[in-house]
């Protein structure tokens, strides 16, 4: 997965402009911003409101509704760990406890500069090979403590 670029108002403006005429453009625009910058910068909200002729409050309402859209950038690797029922049945909560106890990594807590961010997701459609996760967008299955340890060890950390 490509590293996120730093916030760039000009690039954001062109991403918005390319998509403003699509039907139901808000989500495609927000997705494009999130994919480019790794989050949706506050400065984008009035730009989107202007482009789509809706209020800033409405844009904020959309951004805050969906779990995917982040309010601040994330450095390092992102592990989206599934914590839904099928993964529960194979011990995903044990992995959550292990991450905290062994690696000091708390799920869904942002810690700037940490090499690995672990986020909760509910279902990745890999329920026969659970516990499952997405590591920087790539699927990982049959997770166990050993594989989690390896993921933490190999996490690349923030750029210098």
Partner 1 sequence: MSATVYVPMDSAALSVDAEAVAAAIAQEARRRGLDVRIARNGSRGLFWLEPLVEVESAQGRLAYGPIEPADVASLFEAGFLDGGAHAKALGPTEEIPYLKDQQRLLFARCGIVEPLSIDDYRRHGGLKGLARAIEIGPPAIIEEMLASGLRGRGGAGFPTGVKWRTVAGVQADQKYIVCNADEGDSGTFADRMLMEGDPFTLIEGMAIAAIAVGATKGFVYIRSEYPHAFATFEAAIERARRAGLLGPHILSSIHAFDIEARLGAGAYICGEETSLLESLEGRRGQVRAKPPLPAIQGLFGKPTVINNVLSFASAPWILEHGGKSYAEYGMGRSRGTQPFQLAGNIRHGGLVELALGATIRRLVEDFGGGVKSGRKLRAVQVGGPLGSYFPDSLLDTPLDYEAMLAAKGMLGHGGIVAFDDSIDLARQARFAFEFCAKESCGKCTPCRIGSVRGAETVDKIVAGVRREENLELLRDLCAVLTDGSLCALGGLTPLPVLSALDNFSEDFSAAPARVAAE
Which residues in this chain contact partner 1 in the complex, by CB under 8 A? 23-28, 30-31, 52, 58, 61-62, 65-69, 80, 82, 84-90, 121-130, 132, 134, 137-142
**Residue placing its CB nearer to partner 1 in the complex, 22 or 104:** 22
Question: Which CB, 29 or 114, lies closer to partner 1?
Answer: 29
The minimum distance between CB 31 and partner 1, in angstroms, equals 6
Q: How many CB atoms lie within 10 A of CB 97?
A: 12
Residue with token string 């009035």: 46
DSSP codes joined into one string, 33-94: HHHHHSS--TTHHHHHHHHHT--HHHHHHHHHHSTT--SS---SEEEEEE-SHHHHTTTHHH
- Using the minimum distance from each CB to partner 1, give the nearer residue, 15 or 140: 140
Minimum distance between the CB of residue 111 and partner 1, rounded to whole angstroms?
A: 21
Q: How far is the CB of 91 from partner 1 (least distance, A)?
A: 9
- By beta-carbon proximity to partner 1, the closer residue of 66 and 158 is 66
* CA atoms lying within 13 Å on the CB side of residue 30: 23
Q: For the chain, how big is the Rg over CA atoms in Å? A: 18
CB of 135 to partner 1, least distance (A): 10
């Amino acid at each position: 997965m490509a590293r996120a670029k730093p916030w760039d108002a000009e690039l954001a403006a062109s991403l918005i402009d390319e998509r403003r005429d699509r039907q139901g453009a808000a989500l495609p625009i927000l997705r494009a911003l999130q994919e480019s910058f790794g989050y949706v910068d506050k400065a984008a909200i009035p730009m989107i409101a202007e482009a789509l002729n809706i209020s800033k409050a409405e844009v904020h309402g959309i951004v805050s509704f969906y779990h995917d859209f982040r309010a601040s950038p994330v450095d390092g690797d992102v592990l989206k760990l599934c914590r839904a029922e099928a993964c529960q049945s194979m011990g995903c909560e044990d992995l959550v406890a292990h991450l905290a106890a062994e690696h000091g990594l708390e799920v869904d807590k942002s810690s700037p500069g940490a090499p690995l961010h672990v986020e909760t997701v509910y279902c990745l459609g890999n329920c026969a090979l659970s516990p499952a996760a997405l590591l920087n967008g790539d699927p990982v299955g049959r997770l166990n403590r050993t594989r989690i340890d390896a993921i933490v060890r190999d996490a690349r950390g923030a750029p210098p």
